[in-house]
Amino acid sequence: MNTITKLILSLFIVAGLFSCTKSSKSEPTEVAPKLMWIDATANIERFNNKDTIDFYLEKLKDLGFTDIVVDMRPISGHLLYESEYAPLLTEWKGKEIIYTFDYLGYYIEKAHNLGLKAQVSLNTFVAGHNYTDEGPIYEGGKSDWATIVYPPSEEVQFIPITEQKNKYSAMVNPVNEEYQEYILNIFREIVTKYPKLDGIILDRVRYDGFTADFSELSRQKFEEYLGKKLDVFPDDIYRWKKDELGNFYPERGQYFLQWFEWRASVIYKFMAKAREVIKEVNPEITFGTYTGAWYPSYFEVGVNFASKNYDPSVDYDWASPQYKEYGYAELLDLYTVGNYYTTITIEDYQKENPEVKNETDMWGQKSIWYCVEGSNKNLKTILNGNKFYGGILADQFYDNPEGLTESIKMNLATSDGLMIFDIVHIITKDMWYYVEKGMREGGAISE
């Protein structure tokens, strides 16, 4: 090989190495999702025009958000698009809603033009607004869908949730097969109607709470699960009793653990069906859900969002050894949890030691779960490597907007992404400065 040949060969090698190096540097890195939730009824009046959608989606893009989540089925059970199965939302708080364009279709179009992903959220096991008596449970002859609750009382009495007016969500009994078919048809319909959707997030895929559901249907289905008849209902599950201070507590019956295990199985099996229905229409769409992050008490709503590789019976006395079989983390492509805490760090929680009672809690709770940093630390354990995105309830920071900044930063640092609920709170209290500060200091905005 002569000198010139060697020189040419050396140049080719150097060029090849440079090319490989350049190529590896230019490969796109995975960006942690940062979602902004746009609630249906809270935003419909303001956002029911294209200019407003344009303005706020462009703002979200500039602030480093990657996804919008457009709520299309509020707790009333209405939809924000023309459906074969459910009524259109045409009025809210006495004001008529007129649709002059395809509401969700335009969100998707605008989001994609900006490089944002467009996801849709749908409330699941709820079909009526309990404050206004609106929705299919009230208007559609479907009162039998309403969950039956067993409220704390010295007398055993079961009542439909529509009679509990301190509950704004008219929740449905999740084991009701007619309702399951109804809501699955809606899932299938919206994914079919909007093939460019990037994801679907299910909300309120749960029981109403600890006191639900005590219908005859649930009794029958539970007995089928047990393979035997109950001797005394509801005592075989639990019976409300009073302690020495006059406070109600559930005296556990012989099938208490199996009851919560069975409820978790109902939600797990529904989630598996929902995923199958949605993926049959669009295999590329992401399947996700939102839940509260407070796992130590979330058994109260029949939900086990942990990995199947985590056994809660080791840590909690409400879980049977079989409870872990209904962990659904592996069914999810995208998982948002509500880290709805105003205490951000473990250190601050330990100093203040606040008792926290969330929307679905029957009793107040105390532990480092109930701060953002502690929540994310524990969630990583129970999810066993499955990703999750820390959620913020923005209106908790009306009186302390700096806390919103800190919560954004902590969720970005200790979870796999971020979700803020809801844009209306940011707009109403003009908290954009604090959002931007949190996103910038958390590394979500590139300089």
Q: Tell whether the model's pLDDT for residue 256 goes beyond 90.
A: yes
- Chain segment 372-394, per-residue pLDDT in tens: 999 999 999 999 999 999 999 99
pLDDT of residue 225: 98
Q: Tell whether the model's pLDDT for residue 7 goes beyond 60.
A: no
Of 68-82, 155-169, 302-316, where does mean pLDDT reach its minimum? Answer: 155-169
The owner of tokens 């990995």 is 307
The pLDDT confidence band at residue 29, using thresholds 50, 70 and 90, is: low
pLDDT of residue 447: 65
pLDDT of residue 217: 98
Q: Tell whether the model's pLDDT for residue 310 goes beyond 60.
A: yes
CB 275, CB 287: distance < 8 Å: yes
96 bridge partner residues: 91
Mean pLDDT calculated for residue range 7-25: 43
- Chain segment 193-224, per-residue pLDDT in tens: 999 999 999 999 999 999 999 999 999 999 99
In this prediction, what percent of the chain has a pLDDT beyond 90?
A: 89
The pLDDT confidence band at residue 346, using thresholds 50, 70 and 90, is: very high
Q: Which domains, from first to last, does the chain contain?
A: 31-130+167-207+257-441 (3.20.20.80)
Mean pLDDT calculated for residue range 271-280: 98
Mean pLDDT calculated for residue range 159-182: 94
The pLDDT confidence band at residue 4, using thresholds 50, 70 and 90, is: very low
Mean pLDDT calculated for residue range 54-75: 98
Q: Tell whether the model's pLDDT for residue 19 goes beyond 60.
A: no
pLDDT of residue 24: 39
The pLDDT confidence band at residue 122, using thresholds 50, 70 and 90, is: very high
Q: Tell whether the model's pLDDT for residue 5 goes beyond 70.
A: no
Over the chain, what is the mean pLDDT? Answer: 93
Mean pLDDT calculated for residue range 35-45: 96
Of 4-8, 43-47, 421-425, where does mean pLDDT reach its minimum? Answer: 4-8
pLDDT of residue 23: 39
